[in-house]
Amino acid sequence: MLFLHLTACLLLASSSVLAQPQYFGMDTWSPQQIAAYLDQYRQGMLATPEEDVNFSTDHLGLGTVSAVDVDSNGDLFIFHRADRPWDYGNTFGANNVLTKEAQTPVASDTIVKVNPDDARLITSFGKNFFNVPHGLKVDSNDNLWVTDVGRHQVFRFPENSTTPDLTLGEKFRPGSDDSHFCKPTDVAVASTGEFFVSDGYCNSRVLKYSKEGKLITQWGTPSNGGRLTPFSLNIPHSLTLIEKFDLVCVADRENQRSLCYNAGLPNGNGYKAGSFNRTLIPQGDIGKVFAIYYNSADNTVIASSDGQVQYPARAATYNLAGEQTDEWANITPRSAQYGSSLIHDLCASPDGRHFYLADLLQQRVLRYTMTERPIYLPRFK
């Protein structure tokens, strides 16, 4: 009876903080979501990410920001395109080949390392090397992995090095065979050194490699407007690895969902790499899923989307059962002053308290911090 009474209170609390946008549609909550919220209610506090309005990357002079990640020290890496546009008519010509003009590398540093608290510049590099930056990940050994959709290549940079020690793909040569990519989007790296590449804008596949860079397996087929299966992909845009459960998850962007596959790691669950495991974000739940990131500190996945309504939330939190537990980073009148917004990538600090969102269109990085606030419910006579 108490459970039902509190549930009714939740659904009627339109005058309280529950009326914030992330709580609309509570009548559709699952029993698990209601139970989780009631547990927070009993504690009298609700933790949710709130924007750090004093955090700013404006002084860095960033171009379109395509990716972010943190190293083991918590320092923040930013991958941006400086003054290089991605115009489908002028940047790429026929057959996904860069135009002659775009084959000139970006003249500015495109990889920036900053202090995670105040965005103070620590170091930068990458000038006269990259053409169209896209994905960036830092592995457990602080190697830096990046993808360049213009070069159709994947690179690994050792810690504190500005020269890659591993390069996959052929410069300016798109392809779909075992030695070529076509606009690869992201990388996920296991502690064993094995890694995964999402490929990408043309090929609709995920590839797994040994730590030496030898192809092990691959999966995924184009959707082509047909019936969706767990292997139908339409722009696999972002990857995250949940190593403790032997899962590699992909943001299937244009299909508006996120799917997880068995990673097939040596200490994993014994299933073959690439076999389907679960749906993490159901189709259409938050619109196009641009990025996913496993927050190991609290065993959740954060995701960014294109949003579906006016003033939408730009990020959401999911548990590993595929249930949304929070919706946040709403577009506000303040953020709208910066123009159109698209969260292209996101990541979490090592302790899971801070989140960094790469806003592609506003050309800046936002920081959100987990903040506890009291829960107020109305009085009932």
Cβ atoms of 196 and 209 closer than 8 Å: yes
- Consult the annotation and say whether 136 binds a ligand: yes
Any binding-site annotation on 237? yes
Token pair for residue 186? 């992201």
68 is in an annotated binding site: yes
Q: CA-CA distances (angstroms) from residue 278 to 117, 199, 235, 259, 271?
A: 36, 20, 19, 6, 13
* 46 annotated to bind ligand: no
- Coil, helix or strand at residue 377: coil
H helical segments located in the chain: 2-12, 31-43, 333-336
Contact 151, 101 (CB under 8 A): no
Does 278 carry a binding-site annotation? no
Q: Which of 63, 82, 96, 209 has its CA nearest to residue 145?
A: 209
| 59 assigned binding-site residue | no
Please check if 27 is assigned to a binding site.
no
Residue type, 352: G
CA–CA distance, 301 with 316 (Å, rounded to integer):
8
The answer to whether 173 is annotated as binding is no
Q: How far apart are CA 348 and CA 114, in angstroms?
A: 15
* Greatest CA separation for the chain: 73
Contact predicate 303/256, CB 8 Å: no
Alpha-carbon distance of 360 to 293, in angstroms, equals: 17
* Cα–Cα dist 234/225, whole Å: 9
Q: Would the annotation count 5 as a binding residue?
A: no
Task: Sort 255 into a burial class: Cβ within 10 Å, 0-12 / 13-18 / 19+.
Answer: buried
- Binding residues for Zn(2+), by number, are 134, 237, 344
> Which residues define the annotated binding site for Ca(2+)?
68, 136, 345
Residue stretches of the annotated binding site for a protein: 81, 201, 253
Query: Which residues carry a binding-site annotation?
Result: 68, 81, 134, 136, 201, 237, 253, 344-345
